[in-house]
Structure 1
Amino acid sequence: MKRFQSKILRTYSIVIGLILASLGLVLGQLYPIFVHHSTVVLIDSKMEQIATDLATTELSKEEQSTIKQTLNSTLQNTEMANEQQSLWLFLFFILFITFLVALFLGANIFKKYAQPIEHLTETAMELARGNYRIRAFEDDFSGMSTLSNSINILARNLHDISVMRETEKERLKTLIENMGSALIMIDRNGLVTIVNRSFLKQLQISFENIDGKLFRKIGLPDKIEAFIDKLFLTESSSREQIQIKRNLHTYYMDAYGAPVIGEHGRWLGIVVVMHDITELIKLEQVRKDFVANVSHELKTPVTSIKGFSETLLYGAYKNEDTLLSFLEIIHKESNRLQMLITDLLDLSKVEQVGYEVNLSNVKLKDVLDRCIEMSTHLLEEKEIELALAVEDSVKVLGDSNRLMQILMNLVTNAITYSPDHTILHISIFKDNKYGIFRIQDEGIGISKKEISRIFERFYRVDRARSRNSGGTGLGLAIVKHLVEAHHGLIEVESEVGKGTCFTVYIPLVQS
């Protein structure tokens, strides 16, 4: 802008200089002619006066002629000096007036044209710097209104585009920050440019170690670094399932990476999106185990039923003792098969999302009495003594039949895994929030590493003992889901060789 002003000033100075020089030359040529004519007239007038005066004097004609010539020369010299002085004064006056007029005109021209151009230039510079809120003055008098209006339209359009870009940027940032998948973007130099919260959380990385750092120096697991190196090397999309071990736990990530391509096909870097599929892997493994276990559990009774029935068909039925023995086995295996199917149906029902029990006021002692009545023959077979410590007034908010199912499973397991001639302790009491029943046996116990798995489907601490007792391996899984359906809790304490204690908490009836 300063160069533009200096150019205008320089041009204006040259123009004024040329005007003044031309004016000076013109005046210099015209003024002497005018002054010379005036001087001649003045000298002639003075000489006539001198001639008149000399005529009255008593001088000879030669003396008078000499005097006239001398006076004429003197007058001419004097008048010429006066003429030169007057000429310079006149020229200075004319030039000064011309300068003032030119200065006035120049100021008006500068104000009318140069200042609007200067302002438009400043406005354009501000737009170039990204200040899209600035506007140019729209002055019709300056003749720049069309240009000013065009710049203002451009500024408004740029401002609208800037607002739209900021809005889209915020939307994209919000989307990236709140997406469940982990995302990281790395430029062509290997520097991290974008990373979201899910990435930091899943990989347990601090944000301070991320911004603008080389991806190799932010603490990524080795397998993820190798995956990123592969993307940089091939410059093509890739997908892998990555296993990460951290803090004695194993995690599985489904990683997808792709190159980021800019305008004109320029390679800008890569983007990696990762999904935590650990739960999916676990569920898939549970499904496989479930299918394998169900197949195994079904295979045993079905094989027995088929084998003994075929033996009978081939003539064993003719022996009455053999017939009765085989029929008892077939009946027992049929009951076991029926129990397995019933437990599978129960487990399927209680595992459904939104499963609810029919809640009512239930007295825990009544549930226990029914359970003991149904378990008496099992206790008598193993000569297990029952030790009861029951508070008669404990009432809970629950489903009587489902509570019976919980208690029956726990008591049956306690009897099954207890040696003969032991004591089974059952107590019922309450605290401020829960009605509590506790079943403690003197059985084989459960190791600490197995306690966390006893509520899994088909998991058995002692498979041979459980299968021989007719158990399906689904009882504790059903118990866990039924307790949760009552908004209760279940705890397990055990020591190998000394026994196991199950404690169940069911919410009390609120008065």
Structure 2
Amino acid sequence: MKQDWRGALVRRLLLLVGGCLLLGLISGEYAWALVIGLGTYLGWTLKQLLRLHRWLQEHQPGEAPPDGYGLWGEVFDSIYHLERRNERARGRLQAVIDRVQESTAALKDAVIMLDRDGNLEWWNRAAETLLGLQTPQDSGQSISNLVRDPRFKDYFERENYLEPLDLPSPVNSRVQLQIHVTQYGNSEHLMLVRDVTRLHQLEQMRKDFVANVSHELRTPLTVIAGYLETLLDNVEEVNPRWLRPLQQMQQQGARMQNLLNDLLLLARLEATDYPADRTPVAVDLLLLSIKNDAQALSGPRQHRISLEADPHLRLKGSEAELRSAFSNLVFNAVKYSPDEGRIDIRWWGDEQGAHLTVQDNGPGIEAKHLPRLTERFYRVDSSRASATGGTGLGLAIVKHVLLRHRARLDIASTLGQGSTFTCHFPSTQAVRRAK
């Protein structure tokens, strides 16, 4: 088509020049004939260009272009057909967008589109029900101004969306919401909000059941343990064949008491989101006490336990909870490390915050078990756990204590080479004491 246009243009120019030369031959004024002919052609071309410009500025959708002749007619028709194709493509895209919006609007989960600054761009009807958004007055508003929970503001600004956020609905505090945020495009945000009230209620029922049953079992267990202790204290008055059964009952009773104590501790940890006491804890002295207890637990197994702790770095939180978490990590290393094994405890800080590492040279843990180690009652080897007297709740307690202190637990292990447990606390929890 381009070659046809170029050929037609050349032919027209040659005809024009030829006509001008013929007129000049007749009149004897070749120069004036060329000037008049080319000027006329230029004027006609400018007129067609102005017609095209006026049509592009003023035409309505679907309006045909003005009539043109020759090359300009081809230009008008090409522009018109191109515009028609674009209109059809826009129509198809708009139909797809309309279907997506209609299907999204029908979802029971809230879908909210935010720009890179967190301002509202679009949301479905469920967002109005769950979050109280109002159309159209909330358009362009910052989501942090409409969902005023401090936990949401902190979650959104940290831009770490690997885990969802659970919090009450700003419309109805009895409705529990779960919020997922995903970044896409040019740092824009897609926020999904689900009503998880039923799941939350079931989880709360489970927690209450465990806490109540654990509490109710303490009294009968205490009575049984007391009578067993009395019988064993007067072992000379007991038939010798009952001595071993009584000792086994006392041992299993102690295990049940430890289990109940751990369950009650977990229930207390889950009852609140953040420890009430936030005084700076001298972690170096706390770890020194735990090290001494671990050395006593090791006893004749003679583990080599080393401690390296920054005496000027403290941690805001509950000393009792931190002792429970840290001692679980250290005592686990003692239980599962071979005799005369090495256990290294290190407490230090950097620009990211404060860190505690407990490293041992024990048998290690297979990679497939690592993601589930902090689950309640999960055991890599049930027979080994029974031999050490474990309850299967130690690492679950560690995880909950760290969550309450806004920290996380990293686990690295290699079979035959040992394991490393590292607690990472954010800089907001660390306190640097003056030297």
TM score, norm. by length of structure 2: 0.46
Q: Which protein is richer in helix relative to its size? A: 1
Specify which structure has the bigger relative contact order, considering alpha-carbon pairs within 8 angstroms and separated by 6 or more residues. 2
TM-score scaled by length of structure 1 = 0.40
Rg larger in structure: 1
